[in-house]
Every structure is written in structure tokens, then in C-alpha cells.
């Protein structure tokens, strides 16, 4: 019987039984379904690996001796899944954590992270007729969480399954909480963009990549025009909502997973564009300006337009022209932003390091 035949409800723990003996599988299914569990079955370790990735069970009941792939071989292959699973869908990132910081909503990341969490925390209860020291040691060394001997004492099996599932779910809840805390630590609570700490971390990383790979790098410094006037006219609550809307409009135009949009401070937002020359950054800048204008947020106290607008300062650096550091690079974008404001706002000024 395959995974498709298992009755799997969201609130019903799922047990994957891997055993080549149909009678054993039938008995285990009977007792486990009697306890309220859903059951999926596999006849050998290889099939068990395939069904695990399809069903993501809460616990695995694994026979020690099987053809094709026995229990010990399954444990070894199962743990290797963790090492071989790719959890960084974006290019040019140093770690899964940085990918999370760059684009925490990536579906590919979340799916892979779910799989890794399951692999790390899915308990394996080995079922064996052997209870000699060597066999038990091999089972635990291979990755079994616990073992039970044949003939199966159903009361003992029921209690061990219940305990192991409870323990695994507790670990998963703790890990989910930890991921949420990491996400909150990476985000600016008002704009839901990456915060300044993340910006500093990612810029340093991308600067190293630029030097090593000899690729261009651009940043865009963005400021909401006459935002203080907006707050004074409409109030700080309206100002917060305005800043959120502008931030989301900017983020909607920055589509690559390696790019980063972050709140730099106050009404200032900054974008990191790896492997992007000046012309590419300017094209994106034009899109950002138009996207913010399209929001049509009234701004009666603006001295440049009746709606909310933004000014942009762009700094780019080409391979072979690096005679500076990240701090001075950001300062160049800030100078460009200052010039955009001095020229009347609601526009952008672009600079290339070493050419201005």
C-alpha cells in the first residue's frame, strides 16, 4: 500500500511503516489506526525514502531486516538527505540565513527548510528481532531514535510512538518560534523591509563578491520628498501608513532574490543591486519613481507635487575601479541624493565611482 492510500488529515499524525512483511504492516496499521493515527506503508527502505518526501510523516516505524535497502541503510540514506538538500535558491549568497534575510518569503526556501526540519526531527523507531549489543549500537549509530523488539508488545509500541511524536512536535514548534524570531529581528517593523543591520551585513557580503568576481555593484538611496511636512499636515499615524505604502511600492519593483530593499533610517530606503551597472540601476530608479507616483497619495504640503514623490541618489561601481570601501560607496549615493533634492526633488541623480 502506498502513500496515496493513507488517510492523512491535517490534525491526524501520520506514521510511515517501512517493512517488507505484509502481515507485520497489517498488524501495525490495525493498532496504530485504532489509536487515531493515519498510516502510510513502504515495503523497503528505498520506497520509504520516496514516500517520506511525499508525505512528510510524523514518525517512521522501520524494520531492521529488509531486501533492497534494510533499516540501517535507510537510516544512512535518510540522514544524507539533510546534507544534499539545497536550501539557498538565490545566487551569490553565503548561507541559508542570508538568503532568508534577503528574501524571507521565497517559497523554494520555505519548502526546503520544511524538509530539513522534518529530516532533523522525524523520529525513527527501529523494529528488530535482534537485541544484541552490536545490533542495537548499529541502529543508534545509523540514526535510529529508539528501538523495539519483536514480537511487538503493542502497549509498549503505543506509548513509544505517542512519546516520540510529542517530542518531535515540541522540537518543531520551538524551531518555528526560532525562525519567527529571526525573521522579526531581520525586518523593520513599520515598513516590513529588511532593517539597517541586515543592510550592513548584505552590503559587506556583496562588496566582497564584487571584488572577488569582478562584477559591477549599484545602490539606490531613496528619500520621500517633504516627508516631515507630510507628518506635520496629516499626523504621524498617516505618515507611518504612507511610508509603508511607499516601501511596498519600491519593493514591488525589485524582483531579483539577490537584490535587497531595506529601511536605512527615517524616511530613507536603500536598495542593493549586485551585478548591476549604472544603466540598470537608473532604469530601476525610473520605475521606482513612477511606481510611487502611481500610488497617488495626496500631499498638499509638498513643494514639488500634489502627491507623494521620492528623490533618488544612485551610486555604481565598475570592476577594476574599486579604490574605496562600502561606507564611502554609500556616502557617494548620499551625495547623489542630496543633488537630486537640490535640483528640485522628484527625480534621480546617478554617479559612478571614479567618474564624478
pLDDT at 334: 97
Q: Where, residue-wise, is CATH 3.30.70.270 in the chain? A: 196-352
The catalytic position among 245, 267, 268, 339 is 267
Q: What's this model's pTM, rounded to 2 decimal places?
A: 0.58
The parts of the chain modelled with pLDDT lower than 70 are: 1-11, 82-120, 179-180, 182-184, 322, 356
What local confidence, expressed as pLDDT, does residue 110 receive?
Answer: 47
- Using CA atoms, how far apart are residues 199 and 317, in angstroms rounded to an integer? 18
Each residue of 92-140: pLDDT tens digit? Answer: 334 344 444 444 443 444 444 555 555 557 899 998 877 778 878 888 8
Question: Which residues of the chain form beta strands (DSSP E)?
Answer: 14-18, 38-42, 59-63, 124-128, 146-149, 217-224, 260-265, 268-274, 310-317, 348-352
- Architecture per CATH, 196-352: 2-Layer Sandwich (3.30)
For 182, half-sphere exposure in the C-beta direction (CA atoms, 13 angstrom radius) is 15
Rg for the chain, CA atoms, rounded: 28
Give dist(CA 132, CA 217) in Å, integer.
62
Average pLDDT, rounded, for the chain: 85
Rounded to whole angstroms, the Cα distance separating 351 from 335 reads 9
Predicted confidence at residue 288, as pLDDT, reads 98
Active site residue 290: no
- In contact, 233 and 306? CB cutoff 8 Å: no
**Bridge partners for 60 per DSSP:** 16, 124
Secondary structure of residue 122 in the 3-state scheme: coil
- Residue 98 is predicted with a pLDDT of 45
Tell me what pLDDT residue 185 has.
76
pLDDT at 82 (0 to 100) = 59
pLDDT digits (tens, 9 = 90+) for 310-324: 999 999 998 877 677
In the chain, ranges of CATH 3.40.50.2300 domains: 3-186
Residue tagged 525513527 (cell numbers)? 124
What's the topology of domain 3-186? Rossmann fold (3.40.50)
Amino acid at each position: 500500500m502506498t502513500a496515496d492510500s493513507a488517510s492523512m488529515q491535517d490534525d491526524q499524525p501520520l506514521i510511515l511503516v517501512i517493512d517488507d512483511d505484509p502481515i507485520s504492516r497489517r498488524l501495525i496499521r490495525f493498532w496504530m489506526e485504532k489509536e487515531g493515527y493515519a498510516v502510510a506503508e513502504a515495503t523497503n527502505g528505498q520506497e520509504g525514502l520516496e514516500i517520506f518526501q511525499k508525505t512528510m510523516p510524523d514518525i517512521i516505524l522501520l524494520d531492521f531486516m529488509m531486501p533492497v535497502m534494510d533499516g540501517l541503510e535507510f537510516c544512512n540514506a535518510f540522514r544524507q538527505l539533510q546534507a544534499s538538500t539545497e536550501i539557498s535558491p538565490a545566487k551569490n549568497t553565503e548561507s541559508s540565513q542570508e538568503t532568508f534575510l534577503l528574501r524571507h518569503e521565497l517559497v523554494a526556501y520555505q519548502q526546503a527548510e520544511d524538509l530539513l526540519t522534518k529530516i532533523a526531527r522525524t523520529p525513527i523507531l527501529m523494529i528488530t528481532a535482534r537485541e544484541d549489543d552490536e545490533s542495537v549500537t548499529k541502529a543508534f549509530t545509523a540514526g535510529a531514535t529508539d528501538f523495539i523488539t519483536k514480537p511487538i508488545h503493542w502497549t509498549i509500541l503505543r506509548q513509544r510512538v505517542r512519546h516520540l511524536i510529542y517530542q518531535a512536535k515540541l522540537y518543531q514548534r520551538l524551531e518555528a518560534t526560532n525562525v519567527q524570531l529571526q525573521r522579526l529581528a531581520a525586518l523593520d517593523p513599520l515598513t516590513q523591509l529588511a532593517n539597517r543591520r541586515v543592510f550592513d551585513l548584505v552590503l559587506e557580503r556583496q562588496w566582497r563578491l564584487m571584488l572577488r568576481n569582478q562584477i559591477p555593484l549599484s545602490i539606490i538611496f531613496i528619500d520621500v520628498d517633504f516627508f516631515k511636512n507630510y507628518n506635520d499636515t496629516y499626523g504621524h499615524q498617516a505618515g507611518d501608513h504612507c511610508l509603508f505604502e511607499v516601501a511596498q511600492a519600491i519593493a514591488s519593483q525589485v524582483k531579483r532574490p539577490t537584490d535587497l530593499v531595506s529601511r536605512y533610517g527615517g524616511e530613507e530606503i536603500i536598495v542593493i543591486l549586485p551585478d548591476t551597472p549604472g544603466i540598470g540601476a537608473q532604469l530601476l530608479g525610473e520605475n521606482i519613481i513612477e511606481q510611487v507616483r502611481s500610488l497617488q497619495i495626496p500631499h498638499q504640503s509638498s513643494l514639488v507635487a500634489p502627491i507623494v514623490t521620492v528623490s533618488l541618489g544612485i551610486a555604481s561601481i565598475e570592476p577594476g575601479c574599486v579604490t574605496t570601501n562600502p561606507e564611502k560607496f554609500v556616502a557617494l549615493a548620499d551625495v547623489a541624493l542630496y543633488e537630486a533634492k537640490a535640483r528640485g526633488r522628484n527625480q534621480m541623480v546617478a554617479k559612478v565611482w571614479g567618474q564624478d
